[in-house]
Amino acid sequence: MNAPLASMHPASIEAAHHRRREGVLAGIAERLARTLPPGACVRVDWRQAALGEGCDVAGGEPRDADALQLAWDGPESTALRIAASHPQPWPAGIADYWPASARQLLEQAVQQELAAARIDSLQRSELLRQALYEIADLAGSNLALPVMLRRVHSIVGELMYAENFYIVVYDDIRRTMRFLYFVDQIDPWVNDPDREIPVTREDNTLTMHLLRSGETMRGPSLELRTRLGIPRSEDSGPDSADWLGVPMSRDGRVAGALVVQNYRQADVYTEDDRILLAYVAQHVLTALERREARKRLEERVAERTTELRRANDELQSEIFERKRMQEIQRALFRIAELSMTSESLERFYAEVHDIVSELLYARNFYIAMLSEDGGMLEFPYSVDERDPNRKARRLAAGLTEYVLQTGKPLLADRERIAALEAEGKVRSHGAQAKCWLGVPLLRGDRAIGVIAMQSYSDDVLFGVSDQELLTFVALHVGSSLARKQAQDRLVLAHANLEQRVGERTRELAEANAELVEQIGERMRAERKLIHQAMHDALTGLPNRLQLLERLGRAIAAAGDEPQACFAVLFMDLDRFKLVNDSVGHAVGDELLVEAGRRIVGSVRGDDVVARLGGDEFAILAEGLDGPEMAEELGRRVLSALSAPVWVAGRELFPSASIGIALWHPRYRSGEEMLRDADAAMYRAKGDGRDRCAMFDEQMHREATRSLDMESDMRRAIQAEHFMPYYQPIVRIDTGEAVGHEALLRWRHEQRGLLAPGEFLDVGEDSGLIEQIDWQLYARVVEDIARHHALPGYVAINVSPRHFRAPDFAARLLALVEAAGVAPQRLRVEITEVALLDDAPRTLESLALLRRHGVLAQLDDFGTGFSALSYLHRFPIASLKIDRSFVAGLESEAANESVAVIRAIVALASSLGIELIAEGVETRHQRDRLIELGCTHAQGFLFSPPVPLPGG
């Protein structure tokens, strides 16, 4: 912290003021008069920027008739004048020598006065400098706000009289003010720093006039109020003899004020005090803004920490659920295998019981079957802690018989059982269960038996998921019973059927072998999934998760070793997308595998090579001697990658761009190092590719330029500069428009019309894309309602993040209803990523929209997962063939594109789903699509995206 102001004693300040008030020039006329005969009258006048304008008279005013007159410009452009007279004639010769000596004496006095003024100015400048340093230190300290403001008061008190001092902040938008600090020797009012005081136009006090006008005010408070027309009020406090208030302003807006006042003495505050207090006020405002900014930053950090903790909890829940699903899947596979491998039906029952016990509470478990004549209920398998021997009985009104009669599962707790008994539908047999679950064994549509579980404890209750699992088990038990009875019939058949029995046995053996093979494949897939949790599926290298874990350990270790040096090398294969687009993804995958092998072969044994996804790799290199060693490693990797490689009969010459981020104590996580290495990698690409670039602060500054785009985007949202361009969807044979797709465009103030690719990433990262989307949706619905140039329907693109909002569908429907538009005129266009992101919530939203008439279109079909189960599970009305397949109709891989499109057409036709081809740009493409059976199309051949007339 800077030296405290107390080190300059107030006496030194008062001495400086005293010199300014009296000074050497105050007695100069008397001194000059003593050099003349007694009775002389002398007048001295001066005018200078620092000294001001003044005069000094000794012996009375000189007579102009016989006065000696001198006038000249003295030191530092000081205008000087001397006039001297005497009642008697001047002695002989005095007019010859006295003017020169008087001039010399006056110039010496002026020089002394100027020197004193400079010393005074330097002392006040030093005092002000120390004050501002201490205020700056206070702004960066961790002191509580009241303590900091008391220190500020102390600093102002060192500069001027400030026993009565207050600080007020003002919000002209919300029209409130807060007295952050208030100390007064007479006024008993006590401020509350957190209380916001509403202000109105009628409020008229000196403080409010200062805040509204932004002009400094100085003088007696009564005189100021009279001049400004401010009436006296009880809320204004007592009048002061001298009042000085200066505003705290930023960018033309008044943010508050500093006020000092003196109740005993007038004219205490000078113009210098006003300038000094105004200068201090701006630094106090800066200090308050810095503290407020730090407070907001801490709040944002706390909010982000809460969000990350919540996300982690959700991830842990998802992991647990996935493990649970894996366990259920394994159990179901084992049950399916048992139906083919059990030695006997009794053994099958026992093994099924063992498997179910691994998933559910099945301590009390039995299987009941109808006898051949349908009059008895038999129990071929039963395990129960209270009813160890369950004997066959005639059909009665038990829970088991109830399931047989209804043919539906029954899940009943003690209350439900009592209700059924009260209705006369059931009658309990044996020990009373707290919870009972039974599902029917079906043969065709007829129930022939029941599988049941029950609990005698309030701590164990079954749920719907237990019911679903037990229903599946019952299905397999019924199948096994049918097979066993078929085998018995075969044993009793005539000998002439032995050949058919053998053939049937071989068929069953083959089916059993196939099922076992499928189970084995599933088990191998499961082991592969476990491996993929920490490794890349394609290359077998560690994945991003494992790399971040290693990076975290390295950063933690570096905290204890100041000399630690390690680096992250982030690399991206140059022009890899061109390989995928030209020769296919299979060749691209082979190139990625080969690139991974070469990178591993180029690094040291302890270095970690990871594939982050796509064509991105990263290396964690620890134990480095310096940045040169990291750059040498990067060059070695580039050299290894540059060798030609033959993949799928093609010679490729791969290269990469590498960004290097060297360890620095500012890094707090591995993500930050990866981020900076990624930024350096893009610098390497921008410099010509196939090279390394080390991250530096210049790159960091360039990265922040994306903030400018975000600021422009926020202003564009306020000004509604985002608008839809419409591209028609037509019948491919006639060109008749059946609908349009609304495509987002931004009319930028400087850069003109921008497509989504130029700003969508910034919108996604900042979260502004949702506001932009809703602004676009409202514009589209308004266009549908008001314009006749949009026949048919209009499809809007909906990103996956919208489906995370539970009210998305309801909000969209409300928008349509408010505009008076038929819901059938609007469609939502989604990608397969939306179906994967949050499948249950997406399904719920799409189902609600479909019930009201808003249909869904699946965009870019064929480029993602393209799971057929999605088309059955989700209400998809239209498929859009990705433009890459349409473009492929005119490439060397036309046969592949034809095969894919033909399959999609067949799939859509069988499911009754409308089909639309995207990106149709040539007549040849249109003709080929017509031959393949495609009915609708969209593309530049028919029309580019255009705004509505007058839009």
If you average pLDDT over residues 701-724, what whole number do you get? 81
Domain of 64, in residue numbers: 5-127
Q: Establish if 433 belongs to a structural domain.
A: yes
Q: What is the pLDDT of residues 22-37, one digit of tens each?
A: 456 878 888 888 888 8
Q: 243 φ, ψ to 5°?
A: -135, 130
- Verify that 612 and 726 share a domain, yes or no: no
- Verify that 890 and 813 share a domain, yes or no: yes
259 pLDDT above the threshold of 90: yes
Cα–Cα distance between 577 and 585 in angstroms, integer?
9
Cα–Cα distance between 332 and 339 in angstroms, integer?
11
444 pLDDT above the threshold of 90: no
Residue that wins the pLDDT comparison between 5 and 125: 125
Q: Establish if 255 belongs to a structural domain.
A: yes
Last residue of a domain, one of 658, 675, 696: 696
Cα–Cα distance between 15 and 520 in angstroms, integer?
99
**Most confident region among 203-207, 681-685, 738-742 by mean pLDDT:** 738-742
Single out the residue of 751, 763, 744 nearest to residue 801, CA to CA: 763
pTM: 0.36
5 pLDDT above the threshold of 50: no
Asked if residues 330 and 530 have their Cβ atoms less than 8 Å apart, the reply is: no
Sequence length of the chain is 951
279 pLDDT above the threshold of 90: no
Which sign, positive or negative, has the C-alpha torsion 744, 750, 752, 755? negative
Confidence bin at 139 (pLDDT 50/70/90):
low
If you average pLDDT over residues 395-422, what whole number do you get? 87
Confidence bin at 18 (pLDDT 50/70/90):
very low
* Mean pLDDT lowest among 275-289, 331-345, 686-700, 827-841: 331-345
Single out the residue of 882, 881, 883 nearest to residue 913, CA to CA: 881
Q: 482 φ, ψ to 5°?
A: -60, -40
If you average pLDDT over residues 803-826, what whole number do you get? 91
737: three-class secondary structure by DSSP: strand
If you average pLDDT over residues 46-65, what whole number do you get? 84
Confidence bin at 491 (pLDDT 50/70/90):
low
Number of alpha carbons in the 13 Å side-chain half-sphere of residue 842: 24
DSSP state of 584: -
* Mean pLDDT lowest among 75-79, 287-291, 446-450, 791-795: 287-291
Single out the residue of 795, 715, 796, 713 nearest to residue 754, CA to CA: 713
Asked if residues 164 and 265 have their Cβ atoms less than 8 Å apart, the reply is: no
138 pLDDT above the threshold of 90: no
If you average pLDDT over residues 775-797, what whole number do you get? 90
CATH number, domain with residue 654: 3.30.70.270
- The whole-chain average pLDDT of the chain stands at 84
Cα–Cα distance between 603 and 356 in angstroms, integer?
50
DSSP state of 542: B
Residue that wins the pLDDT comparison between 534 and 797: 797
Which sign, positive or negative, has the C-alpha torsion 815, 821, 822, 824? negative
Provide the percentage of residues in the chain whose pLDDT is more than 90: 24
DSSP secondary structure letters along 768-818: THHHHHHHHHHHHHHHHHH-SS--SEEEEE--GGGGGSTTHHHHHHHHHHH
884 pLDDT above the threshold of 70: yes
Q: What Rg do the C-alpha atoms of the chain give, in angstroms?
A: 45
Residue 116: what pLDDT? 77
DSSP secondary structure letters along 600-655: HHHS-TT-EEEEEETTEEEEEE-S-SSHHHHHHHHHHHHHHHHS-EEETTEEE---
- Verify that 197 and 243 share a domain, yes or no: yes
68 pLDDT above the threshold of 60: yes
DSSP state of 382: E
Cα–Cα distance between 328 and 337 in angstroms, integer?
14
Q: Establish if 145 belongs to a structural domain.
A: no
* Mean pLDDT lowest among 315-329, 730-744, 864-878: 864-878
- Verify that 719 and 773 share a domain, yes or no: yes
Question: Tokens 């982030």 sit at which residue?
Answer: 570
Considering only the C-alpha atoms of the chain, give the largest distance between any 2 of them, rounded to a whole number of Å: 173
Residue 484: what pLDDT? 60
If you average pLDDT over residues 73-99, what whole number do you get? 85
Asked if residues 943 and 729 have their Cβ atoms less than 8 Å apart, the reply is: no
Residue 575: what pLDDT? 81
Integer angstrom CA distances of residue 828 from 777, 780, 857: 10, 12, 6
Cα–Cα distance between 580 and 508 in angstroms, integer?
45
291: three-class secondary structure by DSSP: helix
Q: Establish if 771 belongs to a structural domain.
A: yes
Cα–Cα distance between 526 and 532 in angstroms, integer?
10
Pull the structure tokens for residue 98.
């006295």
- Verify that 97 and 207 share a domain, yes or no: no
Asked if residues 801 and 760 have their Cβ atoms less than 8 Å apart, the reply is: no
Asked if residues 710 and 772 have their Cβ atoms less than 8 Å apart, the reply is: no
- Verify that 289 and 186 share a domain, yes or no: yes
Q: Establish if 622 belongs to a structural domain.
A: yes
- Verify that 42 and 72 share a domain, yes or no: yes
- Verify that 24 and 117 share a domain, yes or no: yes
Q: 450 φ, ψ to 5°?
A: -145, 140
Asked if residues 812 and 854 have their Cβ atoms less than 8 Å apart, the reply is: yes
Q: Which residues pair with 452 in a beta bridge?
A: 366, 438
Q: Establish if 520 belongs to a structural domain.
A: no
* Mean pLDDT lowest among 204-208, 448-452, 647-651, 830-834: 647-651
CATH number, domain with residue 786: 3.20.20.450
224: three-class secondary structure by DSSP: helix
Cα–Cα distance between 580 and 591 in angstroms, integer?
10
* Mean pLDDT lowest among 576-590, 633-647, 775-789, 838-852: 576-590
Query: Structurally, how many domains does the chain consist of?
Result: 5
Last residue of a domain, one of 242, 263, 297: 297
Residue 133: what pLDDT? 76
DSSP state of 327: H
Residue 814: what pLDDT? 93
Integer angstrom CA distances of residue 904 from 585, 869, 895: 19, 14, 14
Confidence bin at 951 (pLDDT 50/70/90):
low
Residue 460: what pLDDT? 85
Which sign, positive or negative, has the C-alpha torsion 674, 676, 680, 686? positive
CATH number, domain with residue 419: 3.30.450.40
**Which secondary-structure segment (H or E) carries 747?**
strand 737-748
Residue 813: CB partners within 8 Å, gap ≥ 6?
823, 848, 849, 852, 854
- Verify that 285 and 350 share a domain, yes or no: no
CATH number, domain with residue 98: 3.30.450
Residue 769: what pLDDT? 87
Q: 893 φ, ψ to 5°?
A: -95, 35
Cα–Cα distance between 927 and 886 in angstroms, integer?
11
Q: Establish if 152 belongs to a structural domain.
A: no
- Verify that 378 and 421 share a domain, yes or no: yes
Integer angstrom CA distances of residue 312 from 141, 308, 318: 34, 6, 10
Pull the structure tokens for residue 249.
């302003």
Residue 486: what pLDDT? 66
Residue 481: what pLDDT? 66
- Verify that 55 and 30 share a domain, yes or no: yes
360 pLDDT above the threshold of 60: yes
725: three-class secondary structure by DSSP: strand
Q: 51 φ, ψ to 5°?
A: -85, -20
If you average pLDDT over residues 941-949, what whole number do you get? 91
Confidence bin at 701 (pLDDT 50/70/90):
low
Residue 485: what pLDDT? 60
Confidence bin at 89 (pLDDT 50/70/90):
confident
261 pLDDT above the threshold of 70: yes
Question: Roughly how many angstroms between the first and final C-alpha of the chain, as a whole number?
Answer: 61
Confidence bin at 661 (pLDDT 50/70/90):
very high
Residue 9: what pLDDT? 38
Last residue of a domain, one of 492, 515, 535: 492
Residue 729: CB partners within 8 Å, gap ≥ 6?
737, 738, 739, 740, 741, 792, 795, 916, 936, 937, 938
Single out the residue of 348, 573, 369 nearest to residue 452, CA to CA: 369
- Verify that 680 and 745 share a domain, yes or no: no
Q: Which residues pair with 652 in a beta bridge?
A: 645
* Mean pLDDT lowest among 102-116, 245-259, 497-511, 694-708: 694-708
Asked if residues 776 and 796 have their Cβ atoms less than 8 Å apart, the reply is: yes
CA 905 to chain centre: 40
Single out the residue of 834, 843, 824 nearest to residue 861, CA to CA: 834
Q: Establish if 142 belongs to a structural domain.
A: no
121 pLDDT above the threshold of 80: no
DSSP state of 687: T
